[in-house]
Amino acid sequence: MSHKTIINIGPFHPLQEEAEFFQLHVDGETVIDVDVRLSYNHRGIEKLDESKTFDQVPFVVERVCGICSASHPLAYVQAVEEIAHVDVPERSLYLRTIVNELERLHSHLLWVGLAGHFLGYNTVFMWAWKYREPVMDVLETATGSRVNYANAKIGGSRRDISDEQLREIDKVVGELHRPLDMLTNAVLDDPVLHARLKGVGILSPEAAKAYGAVGPTARGSGVPIDVRRDDPYAAYDLVDWDVVTAPGCDVFGKAVVRLLECYEAIKIIKQCIKQIRPGEIDAKVESIPPGEGIGRVEAPRGETFHYVRSDGSNRPVRHKIRAPSYVNIPTFKASCIGQQIADVAITLAAVDPCYSCTERMCRVVDADTHVQVYQFADLVRLSQQKTDRMRRS
Amino acid sequence: MALTTWALRKSLWVYHVNAGACNNCDIEVLALLTPRFDIERFGMILVGSPRHADVLAVTGVCTRQIMPRLQEVYMQMPKPCVVLAIGACANAQGIFTEAYHMGAAVDETIKAVDPSAIIIYVPGCPPKPEAMIAAAVKGMEFLKTL
Ligand code: SF4
C-alpha cells in the first residue's frame, strides 16, 4: 500500500550551513518529488551594484558567495574589461589564475570534508579541513585575507605576489600531493563509500544537459564542459591541463571529479609560478565607455556568468549575475527522485550547492485572480520607505 | 548567581544560524571545529537543534525573509542564552545596508522579542577564527560575572 507524505526540511537545519527549504514528497521510503524553495538569503546584490561605482562593485560581488570570492569579481572585471577593450598585462593574468586555482583547491577540499561529514565519516571531514588550512595560509599571505581576496581589479590585479610568496605557494601546493593521495585512495578503495555513493543520485548526461548543469555536477555525468577550456580567460590557455570527467553519473563520479581536479589545480599553479615574468600588473583604466560586456569564469562549482551594461557614467546601469548553483540546484528534480530518503542528503550535497549566490526574488501570483501579490511597485515603495525612515532617524 | 547561569559557564553548546550570510563567516565557523582551531577544547560543540543550545551564533545580514524565523529560533532556545553576532553583516548589515531586502539588524531583531538578550559582537568580514575564539572566551568570562 502506498503511503504518501511530505517531509519538510528547513529553513534552518543541521545539514547545510545556509537557510533553504526543501519539501520531499515521499512514498514510504522513496522520494517521488522534490520542491526547492529559496530566497532566505536574497540580499539584492544586482540592484545594490547599480548604486556603486565600477571600482566598488568587485567588493560587493566578492560577497555574493564567500567560497567563490575570487571567481565572482574576476567574472565581473572581465565583463567591464570587455566594455572598455582593456588589454590586461600578462603578469596579472597569471596572478589571477593562481588565486583562482588556490580557491578551487580550498573549495574542493572543503567539499570533500563536508561530504565525509554527511556520510558519517567525520575523520574525512577533519583530515580534509586540516589539509585545507595550508592553502588558506598561502591565500592569506598572498592576498591579505583567508577568504575575501579583493584580488581582481578592472585592468589587472590589486596586489602583486612577491617571488618569495610564489616560492611559498609552490612549496605548499607541492606538499598537498601526499594528503590528496591519501584522501583519493580513501574514497576510491573504501567499500562502504562505494556502497553509499555508487549508483546513488544518478544524473544522466541527457538530464545534465537538459537542466543546463555546469561544473563538476556536469563533468561527473561525463559532460566535458569547462569554461577554462571552452572560452579561455586569464592564463588558462598558456598552461597545460586537462578537463576531468567521470563516467559514473552518480555521486561517486562527482567526488572523483573534484578530487582529481585538485591535482589539475596543483599542476596549473606550478606551471604559472614557473612561467610568470616580472612586469606591470595594472593596465590603469581611466573611464568606462557606454556598452555591454560579459564575463565567464569557471568557479569551483561551475560557470559563473556576469553581464554588465554601462551608459558611460561611473556606475553600471545593469549588472546581472548567474551563479553555477542556480542551474545545478534544479538537477535535484532528476537526481533525487526514486532515491531512499537517507540518500537524499548526500545527493543534495553532491552538487555542492551554494545558496547565497543563487537566491532570487520570487514573484508571488494569486492562483485565482492571477494578480501579482508582490509587484515591482511594492519593492519601490519599500525602498522609498526605507530611505524615508533613514532620513528621519 | 542563579543555578541556570552557573550551569552556563562551562561547555557552551552552539547552534549556528545563517541569517543571509555570504558563506564566508559560515565556513570560518565550521573551521573552528577542525583540528587547527579545535574549539572543542573549550567544551564547545555545534549542535543540531536550538533547543539544545546555549549560544546562538548568527552570521549574515538578517534578510526580511529570515527575520521572523530568526526570532522563532531564538525563542526556542532555553534561557538564559547568549547571542554571538559574527561578522560585519550580523553586527550592522555591513556592505549590504542599502540593499532592499534587509530586515532589521540581528541585534534589533532579537531585542524585539527579548529586550534583555545578551549579545556579543564579533567584528570583521569575516572575523578570523581566532577572533571568534576570543569572543567565545570573553563571553564565558562575562557569564561568570553575572
Ligand atoms: S561579514 Fe563579510 S564574510 Fe561575513 S557574511 Fe557578511 S559579507 Fe560575508
The H or E element containing residue B92 is: helix B87-92
Pocket test for ligand 1, best of B24, B30, B84, B97 (most atoms within 8 A of CB): B24
Task: Report the number of distinct structural domains present in chain A.
Answer: 1
Q: How many CB atoms lie within 10 A of CB A160?
A: 17
Out of B21, B27, B100, name the one closest to residue A47 (CB). B100
- The 10s digit of each residue's pLDDT in B115-144 is 989 999 999 988 999 999 999 888 888 888
What CA–CA distance (Å, rounded) separates A65 from A185? 30
A32 within domain boundaries: no
Give the atom of ligand 1 at the shortest distance from the alpha carbon of B21: 5
> What number is the ipTM of this complex?
0.90
Query: Domain B10-144 adopts which CATH fold?
Result: Rossmann fold (3.40.50)
A249 within domain boundaries: yes
CATH number of A57's domain = 1.10.645.10
Q: How far is the CA of A53 from the centre of ligand 1 (A)?
A: 20
List the 59-88 stretch of B: residues with Cβ below 8 A of A: 60-61, 63, 65-66, 69, 73
Question: In angstroms, how far is CA A300 from the centroid of its own chain?
Answer: 5
Out of A17, A146, A383, name the one closest to residue B23 (CB). A17
From chain B, pick out residues whose CB is under 8 angstroms from the CB of A12: 17-18, 50, 69, 73
What CA–CA distance (Å, rounded) separates A384 from B25? 30
Yes or no: say if A94 and A276 are a contact pair by the CB < 8 Å rule: yes
What CA–CA distance (Å, rounded) separates A286 from A289? 10
A347 within domain boundaries: no
Task: Identify each DSSP E strand in B93-134 by its residue range.
Answer: 118-122
Q: How far is the CA of A224 from the centre of ligand 1 (A)?
A: 34
Give the start-to-end residue ranges of the domains of chain B: 10-144
For residue A274, give its domain range.
45-324
CB pair distance less than 8 Å for A45 and B100 = no
Helix (H, G, I), strand (E, B) or coil at A230: helix
Q: Where are the alpha helices (DSSP H) in chain A?
A: 45-49, 57-62, 71-84, 90-118, 122-143, 163-175, 177-189, 191-197, 205-211, 215-219, 227-230, 251-275, 324-328, 332-335, 341-350, 376-392
Q: Cβ of A67 under 8 Å from any chain B Cβ? A: yes
A143 within domain boundaries: yes
What CA–CA distance (Å, rounded) separates A276 from B99? 40
- The 10s digit of each residue's pLDDT in A284-331 is 888 899 999 999 999 998 999 999 999 989 999 999 998 888 888 888
A6 within domain boundaries: no
Question: In angstroms, how far is CA A273 from the centroid of its own chain?
Answer: 24
Q: What's the gap in Å between the CA of A332 and the closest CA on chain B?
A: 21
B59 close to ligand 1 (CB < 6 Angstrom)? yes
Q: What is the DSSP string of A117-150?
A: HHTT-HHHHHHHHHHHHHHHHHHHHHHSSSS---
Q: What is the pLDDT along chain A (393 residues), one digit of tens a residue?
A: 567 888 777 677 666 667 777 777 888 878 888 877 777 778 888 888 888 999 999 999 888 888 888 999 999 999 999 999 999 999 999 999 999 999 999 999 988 888 888 777 888 888 899 999 999 999 998 888 888 888 888 999 998 999 999 999 999 999 999 999 998 888 888 888 888 888 888 888 998 899 888 999 899 888 999 999 999 988 999 999 999 998 888 888 888 899 999 999 999 999 999 999 999 998 888 889 999 999 999 999 899 999 999 998 999 999 999 888 888 888 888 888 888 777 877 777 777 776 666 665 555 566 677 666 555 556 566 666 776 776 676
A339 within domain boundaries: no
Helices and strands (H, E) in chain B, number of each type: 6, 5
Q: How many CB atoms lie within 10 A of CB A101?
A: 29
What CA–CA distance (Å, rounded) separates A39 from B118? 29
A152 within domain boundaries: yes
Contacts of B40 (CB under 8 A, 6+ apart): B33
